[in-house]
Chains A and B, each alone.
Chain A
């Protein structure tokens, strides 16, 4: 969606031949509800091809640049939502060509630089307009998603219905019940209204447990194994503190969870953090489940670092890939970012969770500190490994909607939608890291996922774009207050109304197959098509040529089958007496039986 493309060459030539008085409606793609704000002639300092003269159009949704040079068909189409920072470069007296203008840092691994004329403060307007519309929150303006009037023939908000999803998992059953205790978000304001808890725990028990869990995020069910009935339960850290507090209700509650599955005498607790961090958290009132307090539980640390480490790691990745790729020591530079190592740790943790549930036949409790970053990564990836339903397009949407959006991953804080505070320490690419892990899995299992790479990239693009309401706000209660589902469009509307674009032609549906990706550094790759996609030297063929070819073959096959059926029809019509036929249509069928 966001691309420097040469695809529109024809369109461009037509308009440029018509002269400079462009019809704006033709020159710039516009969404319903998108309004033109300003346009201006600038020089785009392309890091790959040098300065290019162009006209930039700013709307309340995007920054659109069209080259004015005849030998370049460059187009930039950047949603304002991806902008994280706008800086002025150079001063009124700066010397040197193109040294005066704006420097724009984006959230999607690129920077944009525009040079303007020095006379008459020409950049001031552009700076102010961009700042206003890229950071609407600071100017009491609405985020574009609330202005977007796009209509789709399917409603993405209908994709996730918690009751239906739990019913699909076979819930409630006689060990687990659905509770509405959080209906008005008074038990836990960052949890969804509907929760699945042990049948034997009363609402009163839940309230008492909530006092002992950070931000009241009590252990609740995420997923249940269809056969052995072991469960993945998520929560936040216990409030143990320096004094090593205990809470009988919490201890009893975990024991109740353990007892829902009688195959193993222990409950496994995965604390996503490194051991030292978990200990350090005691100083601020947090901590982890000690052996003495929780006799029937085994605790493992998964060594995944916190949001700040991840943010710095991704920053280093950007440093070595944009604008120029660090070539002389590519692999060791990549290693020094530690990005793939973090990916490895997240995947390894998820594999452990999945394996414990599937082969170890033990219920698992996952938490980190608050239970909305690393915990979401681990539960959702483990569920993706265990449950083939989540590997379909809609299943994946449900997974994201459930484990991330409804359980309060703080998208607004982590991404900073419409917020000008680019240095906010709350920002972190946790969700991107999750999508990267999914991509690594899809690489290793090319037939296991219904969606393709484009699907994942589209999700990431709209994670920032603010065109849809899907990723806005930090939790369900805030979304409900803002009536997001009524006032905005869902990203899944866009995707589900045009599913073919996002389908992996190699997909082979398999039920009950557990996927264990190889999480060794040898088998992990940098996702070049995402992180380095702005670099024109990276051969990025869109759409993917293999998929393209495969689709052609599929179409050919369908055509042959159709022709064959026509022939058979014509044939059977001719057969007045079936007994004379050496081969009836039903006998012919095996020839055209396909394996799908």
Chain B
């Protein structure tokens, strides 16, 4: 379909001027795609009732503003995106790297998007980029034109050649300002209303209750506790958590006070074949005085008692013994041996935070560096240490999984905060052991339960990707590392995962910038305050639409009831080319292979499906 220029935002006017006929057609189209449900240009001018700044402010919202440091403070009439848009429109050429032809047309900045609408003679469709996915922006002007280089959070590098120096600078400034807005509730997911999806759908797919039902079928040693209903016991836990039946809510609350951030030990996974469990928590606050907490000790004792008489436990600390000891000086620490009989501590140091982010940045730099002498590629790849982190994560997960399956022991995993490497280990261990978590829905549930609801601070960790020049504060690619490990599993066990690389790539993209609300905020508490569940769409409902399946599913999947033990030898681990070299390699050959497999599978289904047709076509007597 061919269509014309959409709408423009002039430098001073906040009212979008619509060219009547054609534009309304475009608007309709955009609305269909769910991109235009509310104001395209500025909130203030938006007539739509769904606009958050038009509706009366609830006291809750005010509370939220102070709680979440909502970016630029809204004015009395509400913050206007239009104030950030100086020139909304220019003629430009877009270069999308090798493989994709350049695109010419009218460039337009809106509140949430960068649009390029090709000229009337062009056959190609509108090109659109979520501003939120811009990681860094670089501008150059020469003569009477300029060039903007956009490095995106999904590692794509785009180049825009723009006519006019003023326009270039203005557009660059607008992109810069709009892509770094920190406010959650003015972010695009709150405006995104795709056709065919209903608000609230899929949000209820994976509550803790759902997983508890499964656990309850397997054992009755555990219960669902709502001690955290108002998020006061632990601000980063969901409302309900699964805990030993023998421990009451008061004891949980006391244990929580003994754990950093209130993250007391909770059930992460019940391994039915061995009757053992996987738990996660944060570090105990033993401090220099080696404090103890009777309820915390009782909790872990109850875990062993609930498993089977005489059961043992391992505490997998994701820090080195020395780091754990040092943490005592700042009030943290680790479980004293004498205080937790039956539990043995193992230290498996894993990199986190800053070093991990730096490793990611170095790797992306190396992958994008076409200048460097390629003879040094392998040692440079090694020097990035990314694959070493993959190996660490997988082998620690194997250790935890082995402890359960082979030793029949219960496992508690924690590092310091228990929101990063801890989740990496527990979620990977489940993938290794649990065939259900390797299905499409099982994996989505795992991500939802072990990452999103478990309080991995996505907003902080994924604020920037590998290109940002801003000083990293809380950024760390822990979730990406998880996805990479899953990809390695999938490569080593090509039939055992029901999903394919497509799903992992989608999760990576959406974790960093998304029109869906799933990865917004840092915890359930914040999501609740922002009303994410009622006012944004869930990524899962987006992904589970039938049209997406071909990209996401693994057509060769067969249920594998066994544990899948990955090889973590360095020669078994590969660079995830599909992600790190995604935009620099020609994708066709591997896509062709994928398509080929799909063809055969769907052919099969088609043939199956057409059987009834045959009998239906039998002449009626």
With A446-B593, A447-B596, A591-B613 as known contacts, state yes or no: A325 contacts B571, CB within 8 Å: yes
A521 touches B378 (CB 8 A): yes
Interface centre among A568, A575, A594, by most B CB within 10 Å? A594
Least Cβ–Cβ distance between A485 and chain B, in angstroms: 38
Within the complex, which residue of B492, B577, B617 is in contact with A523, where a contact is CB–CB below 8 Å? Answer: B577
Residue of A whose beta carbon sits closest to that of B615: A567
A325 touches B596 (CB 8 A): no
State which of B26-34, B131-139, B251-259, B601-609 sits at the interface with chain A.
B601-609
The interface residues of chain B lying within 8 Å CB-to-CB of A592 are: 607, 610
A446 touches B581 (CB 8 A): no
The interface residues of chain B lying within 8 Å CB-to-CB of A582 are: 617
* B377 beta carbon closer than 8 Å to chain A: yes
A518 touches B585 (CB 8 A): yes
A528 touches B570 (CB 8 A): no
Residue of B whose beta carbon sits closest to that of A546: B494
A526 touches B607 (CB 8 A): no
Interface centre among A344, A522, A563, by most B CB within 10 Å? A522
Q: Number of B interface residues, CB 8 Å? A: 48
Which residues, 63 to 119 on A, are CB-close (under 8 Å) to B?
Answer: none
The interface residues of chain B lying within 8 Å CB-to-CB of A445 are: 589
* B495 beta carbon closer than 8 Å to chain A: yes
Within the complex, which residue of A335, A538, A571 is in contact with B572, where a contact is CB–CB below 8 Å? Answer: A538
Q: How far is the CA of A33 from the CA of B556 in the complex (A)?
A: 43
Q: How far is the CA of A537 from the CA of B571 in the complex (A)?
A: 10
A325 touches B614 (CB 8 A): no
With A574-B619, A591-B606 as known contacts, state yes or no: A521 contacts B375, CB within 8 Å: yes
Residue of B whose beta carbon sits closest to that of A445: B589
Within the complex, which residue of A330, A341, A523 is in contact with B570, where a contact is CB–CB below 8 Å? Answer: A330
State which of A182-190, A209-217, A548-556 sits at the interface with chain B.
A548-556
The interface residues of chain A lying within 8 Å CB-to-CB of B589 are: 444-448
Which residues, 317 to 368 on A, are CB-close (under 8 Å) to B?
Answer: 321, 325, 327, 329-332, 334-335, 340-341, 344
* B600 beta carbon closer than 8 Å to chain A: yes
B572 touches A526 (CB 8 A): no
Which residues, 582 to 607 on B, are CB-close (under 8 Å) to A?
Answer: 585-586, 589-590, 592-593, 596-597, 599-601, 603-604, 606-607
Within the complex, which residue of B367, B569, B604, B606 is in contact with A325, where a contact is CB–CB below 8 Å? Answer: B569
Q: How far is the CA of A563 from the CA of B614 in the complex (A)?
A: 11
Within the complex, which residue of B367, B495, B596, B604 is in contact with A522, where a contact is CB–CB below 8 Å? Answer: B367
A-B contact count (CB 8 A): 136
A560 touches B608 (CB 8 A): yes
Q: How far is the CA of A522 from the CA of B494 in the complex (A)?
A: 22
* A561 beta carbon closer than 8 Å to chain B: yes
* A580 beta carbon closer than 8 Å to chain B: yes
The interface residues of chain B lying within 8 Å CB-to-CB of A508 are: 592, 596
B613 touches A331 (CB 8 A): no
A331 touches B570 (CB 8 A): yes
Q: How far is the CA of A569 from the CA of B400 in the complex (A)?
A: 58
With A445-B589, A506-B597, A554-B600 as known contacts, state yes or no: A591 contacts B615, CB within 8 Å: no
Least Cβ–Cβ distance between B487 and chain A, in angstroms: 15
B604 touches A331 (CB 8 A): no
B581 touches A556 (CB 8 A): no
Interface centre among B375, B378, B611, by most A CB within 10 Å? B378
Residue of B whose beta carbon sits closest to that of A516: B586
Within the complex, which residue of A522, A546, A580 is in contact with B377, where a contact is CB–CB below 8 Å? Answer: A522
Residue of B whose beta carbon sits closest to that of A564: B607
Provide the A568-596 mask, 1 if CB < 8 A to any CB of B, else 0.
Answer: 10010011000011110000100110110
* B144 beta carbon closer than 8 Å to chain A: no
Given contacts A341-B375, A528-B572, A571-B614, 13 further A-B contacts (CB under 8 A): A330-B382, A335-B378, A447-B589, A447-B596, A448-B589, A525-B574, A538-B572, A550-B556, A557-B603, A560-B611, A564-B611, A571-B618, A588-B613
Can you offer 9 A-B residue contacts whose CB atoms are under 8 A? A331-B382, A331-B387, A332-B382, A335-B379, A521-B375, A556-B604, A574-B618, A591-B610, A592-B610
Residues of A within 8 A of B (CB): 321, 325, 327, 329-332, 334-335, 340-341, 344, 444-448, 506, 508, 518, 520-523, 525-526, 528, 532, 537-539, 545-546, 549-550, 553-554, 556-557, 560-561, 563-564, 567-568, 571, 574-575, 580-583, 588, 591-592, 594-595
